[in-house]
Amino acid sequence: MKLAVTGANRGIGLALVKEATQRGCETLACIRSEENTTAVEGLSQVSVALADVRDPIALNNAAQSFGPLDLVVANAGRFIGRWGIEDPAYTPEAFQEVLMTNVAGVFFTARAFLSYLTSPGGKVAVISSFSASNTIKCTGDRYIYRASKAAVTNIATNLAVELAEKGIAVGAYDPGSVQTDMYGKKPGAELSPSEVAKRLMDRFEALSMKNTGVFENYAGRKVPY
């Protein structure tokens, strides 16, 4: 299998690249800063493209450099503002940064790789979050992040409808609470990136036209949305 992963230099993205290597896949690691490309150095069958997901031209160049592929994983994400409405982290710049990365960035990623995806049979995996859900775990906080994940899950559902005629399946995935820079420094993070990467790769393998539009967690449980 050939796949591309955004945000591939650390956290879940890097673990996905390593898991893909274990499975004998050929992977394009999309990383936004040249100095962070050392994270994937020495991994077999891994090539690197420099791409900030807010930059459609960089993503188009990345997709073109890799050519035909079976799966694109829109993983890159930002988290700013943890607390309630008075948290000073909720600035206009923070809204712009998180929504551009977590929502527009996923849209631009899917669009850039779309014409290179196997058709029929290609797949788009969007890394969302249980925070997207209006029906579970709404604790009155993380305003920008929750809104971004709700929006990107909507994009995944919408894409699944549009890409059905090309035979391209789209899924949105909640990786759970994972020990990464984003969440890992707090005790609530239960899972290691490598454990989650294995489970997510299994979910991506299980994605097909039969379950396109799915929003499920790393263990395959449907996330109410």
Ligand X SMILES: NC(=O)c1ccc[n+]([C@@H]2O[C@H](COP(=O)([O-])OP(=O)(O)OC[C@H]3O[C@@H](n4cnc5c(N)ncnc54)[C@H](OP(=O)(O)O)[C@@H]3O)[C@@H](O)[C@H]2O)c1
- Residues of this chain that bind ligand X (CB under 6 A): 6-7, 9-13, 32-33, 36, 52-54, 75-78, 101, 105, 127, 129, 175, 177-178, 180-183, 189
Q: In this chain, which residue has its C-beta nearest to ligand X?
A: 11
Which ranges of 79-215 does DSSP label H, i.e. alpha helix?
A: 92-99, 105-114, 143-163, 193-206
Q: Do 90 and 144 touch, CB atoms closer than 8 A?
A: yes
Closer residue to ligand X, CB minimum distance, 12 or 160: 12
Closer residue to ligand X, CB minimum distance, 54 or 166: 54
Closer residue to ligand X, CB minimum distance, 128 or 212: 128
Query: CB of 144: closest distance to ligand X in angstroms?
Result: 11
Collect all residues with Cβ–Cβ distance below 8 Å to 195 and sequence separation of at least 6. Answer: none
Q: Do 61 and 109 touch, CB atoms closer than 8 A?
A: no
Q: What is the token pair recorded at 6?
A: 């955004």
Q: What is the token pair recorded at 160?
A: 């699944």
> How far apart (Å, rounded) are the C-alpha atoms in residues 135 and 123?
27
Closer residue to ligand X, CB minimum distance, 99 or 178: 178
Query: CB of 51: closest distance to ligand X in angstroms?
Result: 6
Query: CB of 162: closest distance to ligand X in angstroms?
Result: 22
Closer residue to ligand X, CB minimum distance, 35 or 86: 35
Closer residue to ligand X, CB minimum distance, 9 or 118: 9
Query: CB of 131: closest distance to ligand X in angstroms?
Result: 7
Residues in the chain: 225
Query: CB of 129: closest distance to ligand X in angstroms?
Result: 4
> How far apart (Å, rounded) are the C-alpha atoms in residues 77 and 214?
20
Nearest CA among 175, 204, 196, 166 for reference residue 2: 204
Query: CB of 165: closest distance to ligand X in angstroms?
Result: 28
Closer residue to ligand X, CB minimum distance, 75 or 212: 75
Q: What is the token pair recorded at 185?
A: 């420094």
Q: What is the token pair recorded at 199?
A: 């489970």
Using the CB atoms, write b or e for 89-99: b if 16+ within 10 Å: ebeeebbebbb
Query: CB of 120: closest distance to ligand X in angstroms?
Result: 27
